[in-house]
Structure 1
């Protein structure tokens, strides 16, 4: 074990860590923590108090931290809304008749345009996540999100007034850029402002935002699916304007992450943020501040200003791989069935009106599952939830494939629909929410904004071809597999399970300092849970 000993008298020229002027300010201030026994004792006490705090105690003591975490996570509702909206458009009779082609006596949207509509937003978001990290490191979580919300308001106009599939696709691509900012920043911000015991539940609300978006879409499209004019899809598009402005006001009022402020050397502002997030007592706030400063200073010895290349160096490469695999795996466990649920139900032999009803039920059940995930994260470890959740979905996907392979009748049609709902429910209860928790905890604090952005980029790299594959499997002008696609998704989910069993560590109840040490010691994934880290270790 090697312990990093800071220079008690850092050079005044600011080149101690080869960083710029801001980093000089950070390093000089934080070196005081590691060299000062009194401040170190504060850091010890601050970390021990967080470890001792139960979930309910943390909620009662930090209600505003929970509120601001949920507010930031709720920005994801806009990506969710639009993703599910596109999935419903291809099932809207009026939309099919306006932009579709005749096939077997019915109007259908050609596979290539289905894929384009689904993929355009993800392509835009792919650009957004790479922009999010550097901008967030410069401006902070609040101002980066505010800029993204302003951009979101503007780009909705293009989709709303689009009069062709090509222009609608362009609109979706431009809307995707701010989505990238939201999804990169939300889990990082939420994980940084709440106590250790609340990280799981608060980051899991990201999946709840997806469910809320799908519920609104399901209700809107069900209400308008019988219209035979352009308002059948323009009104649901206009509903996107419900979110950005109220969220912009709330995010403007939110406190900045004290971790980001400390990294920028703004100690007084960080202390004010800590107090706004729930630590009203001055001594307690100072202990939390010392704990943050200690962790940030330990990480600062690894390098100066963070860059994308740092994600590929040393132990951070392992952390980046875990983050990328967690994000990418969200596309391989049957979740894309949920994203195209209405169309899936229709392909399973359900009437269009009943398919929209089932989609609404499916979305509401996902919301219930998300609430259930809060309790799961309190009772079980991250690794346990992920492995068992994935295994359950593999079984359900195989059953779906079998059900679609036998002679079809009304009973098998509804059996496929029910299995599709159960797969979505299982994902929303386990895989979906716990993935965000793992992603938020795995990266180092220094590289978090960059790591969550690159991880989400891996999600889009996986999702874009998978969307095409999903559309090809379900579309009558494609392979027309219907429920037999369960075999394909079961196979990809099995690969995810094997990789997670081999490489996914257990991070529950660990402070960010402890997580840094576990990775730096190169502890095996299956040994993370039983490895003891002393509160005095600074390595």
Structure 2
């Protein structure tokens, strides 16, 4: 009897202890969720200025990471200028009947402009697995070290095939930079700063083109190797200083949280924000809540991007990236050459190229205000519509003849198309790309999106070069009809499928994708702060 009573007592104690463990676990989960809710509400209630004051270093490190985009922009515009640079044409070109100068053959013009993109295509596929494994900082540092080495081969190139291979090699680190930068920038800042900090990428794209166009304008009258050797050598300005800064930068706290390194994530949050304004424990709890919602026993892989709700997210990112090449943006990449083919003299063409780049930077800064206060979807759609109208107008101007007025009209419209693209669709794209992907799959999604960009851009470069080159289609401004047609298709698809993610936390974005809410309903849909699915 005594033995039975002892067993009953032990059983009762064990049961009570078990209940206590369950209670403690539930209490811990409840506290964890409460902290997450507090952090999310704090971000929602911040104004833009309050967010800047609370996270001053987050804005600075986003600025530093965005600087890596200068290098791809610089080289893309460099090749666009080289095909118009007299010294480069005389060195690598062939004589063309009716022209006093040499020209770069269409096939080599196309090859040189596509070589970097081929390398970048390799780079973006490397970036996802590499970043998932070693983090944004070390993946970017790897790319910078490689770029420093590959610039040598381009500088000493004495033939177009060597120039092609050099560009291809340089493209590999570009792919790493362009895949990582938007993801890193969107992860280290609060909700209110996601738009301006990711749009800095477009600003640095414009800065790269300003430097190139300024150098090309300065050297376009020289008929020696210096005219193109100096612009190539200037690429060394960027990698080493950026390596030092990025080595000192904090890792993304979202990446650290995904790896279960919660203390390191809290330290990263404290480095990004002011201790007096940021509760790192609550912020990491918010990150853990979102990551737990996305948790899977599988390691992230590319196949997941095309399954379930992640398929829709992947299609949006890929579609926005692809549209950048289908809405006349390549006119900006070949601005000087476009102006020359429109009938503008050599000196004015280079000056207009420099003016275009400078205006692009100004308009990108104006776009910060638009996308921060008016959202992404509306700015993207209205900007795309304006772009479509201007491209058709460019086509009409190109069809009116070859007189001086028609040439000036084509040059003016080409400049306006290139500039207005950086006010709406281009900068809004970077925000959309950074916000759309799931946290768990973000490095892979941004890499896949940029890969789509290059896959679409490569044939578009061939098409653009063919349409403008005198040995090809020789269409001049009439290329506006072609780009206007593709721009209209992109506009229609965006109206149907692009959601508005302004002021949405990553938790809310996850839930809305899982609930399959139509794109046009996002703006008026409310998500309860307690919802986890």
Common fold, TM-score beyond 0.5?
A: yes
> 1:163 aligns to what SS in structure 2?
coil
Larger radius of gyration: 2
* TM-score normalised by length of structure 2: 0.94
What are the Cα deviations for residues 289-333 of structure 1, in whole angstroms up to 9, with x where unaligned? 110111111111x44321111111110011001110010000011
Unaligned runs of 5+ in 2: 1-23
Q: Which range moves more in the overlay, 91-100 or 175-184?
A: 91-100
Q: Does 1:315 align with 2:347?
A: no
Q: Find the partner of 1:95 among 88, 104, 119.
A: 88
What's the CA shift for 1:90?
Answer: 0.4
What's the CA shift for 1:281?
Answer: 3.6
What's the CA shift for 1:36?
Answer: 1.7
CA contact (8 A) 2:54 2:277 kept: no
Distance 1:214 1:233 in 2: 15
Structure 1 pair 411–147 and aligned structure 2 pair: CA distance change class (3 A)? same
Residue 486 of structure 1 is matched in structure 2 by 480
> 1:535 aligns to what SS in structure 2?
coil
RMSD over aligned Cα atoms: 1.3
Distance 2:476 2:277 in 1: 61
Residue 234 of structure 1 is matched in structure 2 by 229
Q: Find the partner of 1:221 among 216, 219, 226.
A: 216
Structure 1 pair 34–348 and aligned structure 2 pair: CA distance change class (3 A)? farther
Instruction: Write the mapping of 1:97-176 to structure 2, written as runs, cut at 5 A.
Output: 97-106=90-99, 107-176=102-171
What are the Cα deviations for residues 370-405 of structure 1, in whole angstroms up to 9, with x where unaligned? 111111112211110110000000011011111110
Structure 1 pair 414–522 and aligned structure 2 pair: CA distance change class (3 A)? same
Q: Does 1:70 align with 2:59?
A: no
Residue 180 of structure 2 is matched in structure 1 by 185
What are the Cα deviations for residues 424-461 of structure 1, in whole angstroms up to 9, with x where unaligned? 11111111111011011000000000000000000001
Q: Find the partner of 1:384 among 378, 398, 405.
A: 378
Residue 526 of structure 2 is matched in structure 1 by 532
Distance 1:501 1:367 in 2: 27
What's the CA shift for 1:34?
Answer: 9.5
Instruction: Write the mapping of 1:26-425 to structure 2, written as runs, cut at 5 A.
Output: 36-106=29-99, 107-281=102-276, 284-300=279-295, 302-425=296-419
Residue 12 of structure 2 is matched in structure 1 by none
> 2:78 aligns to what SS in structure 1?
helix
Q: Find the partner of 1:513 among 507, 511, 514.
A: 507
CA contact (8 A) 2:391 2:480 kept: yes
Structure 1 pair 454–32 and aligned structure 2 pair: CA distance change class (3 A)? farther
CA contact (8 A) 1:110 1:477 kept: yes
What's the CA shift for 1:262?
Answer: 0.5
Aligned residues: 508
Distance 1:33 1:492 in 2: 55
Runs of 4+ displaced beyond 6 Å: 31-34
Q: Find the partner of 1:473 among 467, 478, 489.
A: 467
Distance 1:392 1:56 in 2: 31
Residue 13 of structure 2 is matched in structure 1 by none
Distance 2:170 2:27 in 1: 45
Structure 1 pair 34–118 and aligned structure 2 pair: CA distance change class (3 A)? farther
Structure 1 pair 92–282 and aligned structure 2 pair: CA distance change class (3 A)? closer
What's the CA shift for 1:62?
Answer: 1.1
